[in-house]
């Protein structure tokens, strides 16, 4: 069963003559443990598709299925999109979007406490994850004191802490240099596989293409190349020794 | 995970400064309440000091605290014959000013029969009045030491004792003197006024052939009656029916007998009601200002967190978590402001020129009002937060 499916997704902005079609009948399916990229020029609809899949900005038409739970545009009012996100979706932002008044460990543990896990257990689990990401020494500091790479690793930790079915990342490496960007991509790939999550990454950075299982190219709100597999040698080339 | 606590911890300095501002406002509200209570306490202290059961005053009047009331001094003897009356005693009141050295004092003079009803419950320094004439018990608030000589009109008094906590509704200290002294101060005229009166009397006598032989010099002292009081205080036997005794006194048609509670109510209504309304209005204005300030602070804090709130929505935080964050911050601000205000007023109330009576009941009521204000103030912020679109978190910038 695919981890996430988008079927005939359409997104319209505005009305009448000013109406803009941001997504046109887009369909895609991503399996658990798969790392896929959404690429395309600015305004091609990549981020809009990501927002539609996460129901942050739901589609005007079409259906989204996450871990078997289907939500269609005509039944949005009956759906608790936030429950769906906190239980089944992890989201990574270009600008990290860490909560400034929470420490690093609290930023990540918050996601667990929102799902009802007691605070003490949530903090314990988070510290273990941060240790594996080599962030444990920064656990009790505020995000403002972390470097860009540390902040993005923390954002990744927040996205994966509750083992979501799908991880959506919007330009996660855009604010990072190549080295740090690749490290974050490798981390996403590693955690996605370990936790059997489908990882969908919006990127326009051709340098990062090597690590993806499939790449969807978008133009004018449509997927123009339907998830061509990236050659195996390019995938392995992107993985540092000892990983994947 | 308590987000409000963590947000406050992060912005602690600014939060404390804001709470201090709110605390100053609430401290002022508490002070106004304390001033009002002090006003009432001061006003009632004079009525309560004699611990009388009934006040007998001039018929068709509300007693000496509301208007002029004059009753013959001797009527207390007749009242004492009524079954159930343990004791009755005349009392006279007068506001006056006197000078001690260069300082001008304002006081409420109370004339009573020493050792009988009408004096202070306790003398905290010096001794009670024993000689009956030209002695004075003065409230400590006047700041006049024992043994001080005070001249009032034609009489000279010695301060022989000090009382405590008995002041007039205007906050002036009470000076207890004998009834006879008080009557002379109130009714005896100056020498010039006596000479003028005698001249007028002599002219009147000359104009009336039947009285031509009467000397104005002899007649004038007889016409000068000082044996008047403002009220008769009555204390009853424990078994006596207060209403029955009052009804019997009123049957004489010249007097009105009212329970002390009624006298208190009249005093409160006639003297402090307007002040109460004024202070109440002022408190309402201050509380309204506090509400606006708290609402603005909370709203501003919410605006600053717009992007964080959008992020919370994206990671799946329900509305109750976001509303809880804002509501708890508002309540924390109100509670801390209230605490700081209480400390402020607790430290300073002794320095107010008039009594500031801080009652626990008033404090609890104000705390309840502050909590309601905080809830109302947070509604604007909550409304704003719940309208924040999660897509705001996806815009550029850190």
pLDDT at B1: 84
Q: Which of B1, B316, B396 sits opposite A83 (nearest CB)?
A: B316
Is pLDDT above 50 for A242? no
Which residues of chain A are within 8 Å of residue B397 when distances are taken between CB atoms? Answer: 95
Distance CA B276, CA B35 (A): 10
pLDDT for the residue numbered B60? 84
Where are any strands of DSSP class E within A56-209?
Answer: 61-66, 69-72, 89-92, 166-170, 198-202
| Euclidean distance between CA atoms B21 and A190, whole angstroms | 52
Secondary structure (DSSP) of B357-369: ---HHHHHHHHHH
For chain A, percent of residues with pLDDT exceeding 70: 92
In the prediction, which pLDDT does B224 show? Answer: 67
B13 in contact with A at a CB cutoff of 8 Å?
no
Number of domains observed in the structure of chain B: 2
Does B210 reside within a domain? no
Q: Check residue A231 and give its pLDDT.
A: 53
- Find the residue in A nearest to B309 (Cα): A99
DSSP helix/strand/coil, B317: coil
pLDDT at A1 over 80: no
- Please list, residue by residue across A30-64, b when 16 or more beta carbons sit within 10 angstroms of its beta carbon and e when fewer do: bebbbbbbbbbeeebbbbbbbbbbbbbbbbbebbb
Q: Rounded distance, CA B45 to CA B38, Å?
A: 10
- For residues B274 and B281, is the Cβ–Cβ distance under 8 A? no
Distance CA B104, CA B88 (A): 35
Q: What does pLDDT average to over chain A?
A: 82
Residue B45, burial from CB neighbour count under 10 angstroms (0-12, 13-18, 19+): middle
Q: Are residues B376 and B335 in the same domain?
A: yes
Instruction: For chain A, say whether B6 makes contact (Cβ under 8 Å).
Output: yes
DSSP code string of A134-166: T-GGGTTS-GGGS-HHHHHHHHHHHHHTT--SE
Distance (Å, whole) CA A110 – CA A146: 18
Mean pLDDT of A13-28: 85
Kindly state whether residues B114 and B248 are assigned to the same domain: yes
pLDDT at A160 over 50: yes
| Number of C-beta neighbours around residue B390 at 10 A | 24
Residues B69 and B161 occupy one common structural domain: yes
What does the DSSP 8-state code read for residue B145?
P
> At residue A235, does pLDDT exceed 50?
no
Question: Among partner residues A96, A114, A122, which is closest to B316 by beta-carbon distance?
Answer: A114
pLDDT above 90 coverage of chain A, percent? 11
User: Cβ–Cβ of B311/A87 closer than 8 Å?
Assistant: no
What is the residue whose two structure tokens read 């029955």?
B244
Q: Are residues B93 and B236 in the same domain?
A: yes
Residue A241 CA to residue A236 CA, distance in Å, equals 9
Rounded mean pLDDT of A232-239? 44
Strand partners, A11: A23
pLDDT band at A226 (very low <50, low <70, confident <90, very high): low
Q: Give A78 or B258, the one with higher predicted confidence.
A: B258
B243 and B280 in a common domain? no
A170 CB near a chain B CB, below 8 Å?
A: yes
DSSP state of B173: B
A114 and B11 within 8 Å at the Cβ level: the answer is no
Q: Would you state the pLDDT for residue A166?
A: 92
Q: Over 80: is that where the pLDDT of A183 sits?
A: no
Q: How far is B368 from chain A (nearest CA, A)?
A: 30
> How would residue A229 be classed by pLDDT, with cut points 50, 70 and 90?
low
pLDDT band at A195 (very low <50, low <70, confident <90, very high): confident
Q: Can you name the residues that pair with B255 across neighbouring β-strands?
A: B58
Print pLDDT tens along chain B (398 aa).
889 999 999 989 989 998 998 899 889 888 888 888 888 788 788 888 778 889 898 888 888 877 788 888 888 888 888 888 999 899 988 888 888 888 888 888 898 888 888 888 888 888 888 877 888 988 888 888 888 888 888 788 889 999 888 888 777 888 899 888 888 887 766 677 777 877 888 888 777 777 777 777 777 666 666 778 888 989 988 888 888 898 888 887 678 888 888 888 887 777 677 777 888 888 888 888 888 888 888 888 888 888 889 889 988 889 899 999 999 998 999 999 999 999 998 888 878 877 788 888 988 988 998 898 888 888 888 988 888 888 887 764 33
| Token output for A228 | 């061509």
ipTM for this prediction: 0.83
- In whole angstroms, give the CA distance from residue B233 to residue B48: 11
Q: Tokens representing A215?
A: 């790449």
Can you read off the two tokens belonging to residue B247?
A: 């009804």
Indicate the SS3 state at residue B318: coil
Spatial distance between the Cα atoms of A169 and A154, rounded to a whole number of angstroms? 13
Does A142 score more than 80 pLDDT?
A: yes
What is the rounded distance in angstroms from the CA atom of residue B356 to the CA atom of residue B37?
A: 7
User: What's the gap between Cα A113 and its chain centre?
Assistant: 20
Residue A243 pLDDT greater than 70, yes or no: no
| Inter-chain residue contact B318 with A100, CB threshold 8 Å | no
Angle of CA points B125, B130, B135, to nearest 5°:
70
Distance (Å, whole) CA A61 – CA B302 = 33
Q: Which residues pair with B152 in a beta bridge?
A: B155
Q: How far is A119 from chain B (nearest CA, A)?
A: 6
CATH 3.40.640.10 fits A4-238, yes or no: no
> CA-CA distance, B286 to B191, in Å (whole number)?
55
Q: What domain range includes position B242?
A: 60-188+224-253
Contact between B6 and A95 using a beta-carbon 8 Å cutoff: no
Say if B207 falls within a structural domain: no
Judge whether B202 lies within some domain: no
Same domain? For B142 and B81 the reply is: yes
Q: B313 touching A, CB under 8 A?
A: yes
More confident call, A10 vs B268: A10
**DSSP tag of A171:** S
A113 touches chain B (CB under 8 A): yes
Distance CA A45, CA B204 (A): 116
Tokens of B148: 């001080």
Instruction: Give contacts of A47 with chain B, Cβ < 8 Å.
Output: 394
DSSP for B53-122, please give it: SEEEEETTS--TTTS---EETTHHHHHHTSTTEEEEEEEEEEEEEEEETTEEEEEEEEEE-TTSTTS-S-
């Amino acid at each position: 069963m695919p981890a996430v499916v988008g079927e005939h997704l359409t997104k319209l902005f505005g009305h009448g003559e000013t109406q803009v079609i941001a997504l046109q009948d887009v369909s895609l399916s991503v399996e658990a443990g798969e790392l896929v990229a959404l690429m395309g020029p600015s305004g091609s609809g990549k981020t809009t598709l990501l927002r539609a899949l996460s129901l942050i900005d739901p589609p005007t038409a079409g259906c989204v299925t996450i871990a078997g739970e289907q939500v269609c545009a005509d039944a949005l009012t009956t759906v608790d999109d936030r429950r769906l996100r906190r239980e089944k979706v992890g989201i990574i932002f270009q600008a990290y979007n860490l909560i400034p008044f929470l420490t690093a460990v609290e930023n990540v543990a918050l996601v667990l406490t929102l799902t009802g896990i007691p605070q003490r257990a949530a903090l314990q689990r988070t510290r273990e994850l941060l240790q594996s990401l080599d962030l444990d020494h920064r656990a009790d500091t505020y995000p403002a004191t972390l470097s860009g790479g540390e902040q993005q690793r923390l954002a990744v930790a927040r996205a994966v802490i509750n083992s979501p079915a799908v991880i959506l990342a919007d330009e996660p490496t855009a604010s990072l240099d190549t080295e740090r960007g690749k490290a974050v991509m490798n981390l996403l790939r590693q955690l996605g596989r370990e936790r059997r999550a489908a990882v969908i990454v919006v990127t326009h950075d051709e340098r990062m293409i090597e690590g993806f299982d499939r790449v969807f190219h978008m133009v004018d709100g449509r997927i123009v190349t339907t998830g061509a597999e990236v050659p195996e040698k390019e995938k392995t080339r992107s993985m540092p020794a000892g990983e994947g | 995970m308590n987000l409000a606590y963590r947000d406050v911890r992060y912005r602690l300095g600014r939060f404390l400064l804001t709470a201090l501002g709110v605390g100053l406002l609430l401290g002022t509200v508490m002070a106004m309440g304390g001033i009002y209570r002090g006003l009432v306490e001061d006003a009632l202290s004079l009525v309560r000091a004699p611990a009388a059961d009934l006040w007998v005053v001039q018929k068709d009047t509300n007693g000496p605290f509301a208007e002029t009331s004059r009753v013959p001094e001797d009527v207390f003897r007749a009242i004492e014959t009524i079954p159930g009356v343990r004791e009755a005693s005349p009392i006279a009141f007068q506001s006056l000013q006197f000078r001690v050295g260069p300082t001008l004092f304002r006081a409420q003079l109370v004339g009573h029969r020493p050792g009988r009803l009408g004096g202070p419950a306790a003398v905290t320094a010096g001794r009670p009045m024993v000689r009956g004439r030209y002695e004075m018990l003065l409230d400590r608030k006047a700041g006049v030491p024992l043994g001080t000589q005070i001249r009032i009109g034609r009489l000279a008094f010695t301060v022989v004792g000090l009382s405590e906590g008995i002041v007039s509704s205007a906050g002036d200290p009470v000076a207890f003197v004998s009834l006879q002294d008080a009557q002379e101060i109130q009714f005896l005229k100056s020498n010039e006024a006596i000479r003028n009166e005698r001249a007028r009397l002599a002219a009147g006598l000359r104009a009336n052939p039947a009285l031509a032989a009467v000397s104005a010099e002899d007649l004038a002292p007889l016409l000068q009656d000082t044996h008047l009081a403002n009220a008769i205080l009555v204390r009853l036997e424990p078994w006596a029916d207060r209403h029955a005794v009052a009804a019997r006194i009123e049957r004489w048609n010249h007097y009105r007998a009212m329970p002390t509670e009624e006298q208190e109510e009249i005093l409160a209504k006639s003297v402090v009601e307007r002040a109460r309304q004024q202070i109440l209005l002022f408190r309402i204005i201050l509380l309204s200002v506090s509400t606006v300030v708290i609402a603005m602070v909370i709203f501003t804090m919410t605006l600053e967190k717009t992007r964080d709130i959008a992020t919370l929505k994206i990671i799946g935080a329900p509305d109750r978590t976001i509303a809880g964050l804002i509501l708890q911050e508002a309540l924390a601000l109100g509670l801390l402001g209230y605490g700081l205000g209480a400390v402020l007023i607790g430290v300073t109330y002794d320095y107010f020129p008039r009594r500031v009576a801080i009652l626990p009941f008033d404090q609890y009521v104000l705390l309840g009002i502050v909590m309601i204000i905080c809830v109302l103030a947070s509604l604007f912020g909550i409304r704003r937060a719940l309208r924040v679109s999660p897509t705001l978190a996806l815009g550029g910038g850190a």
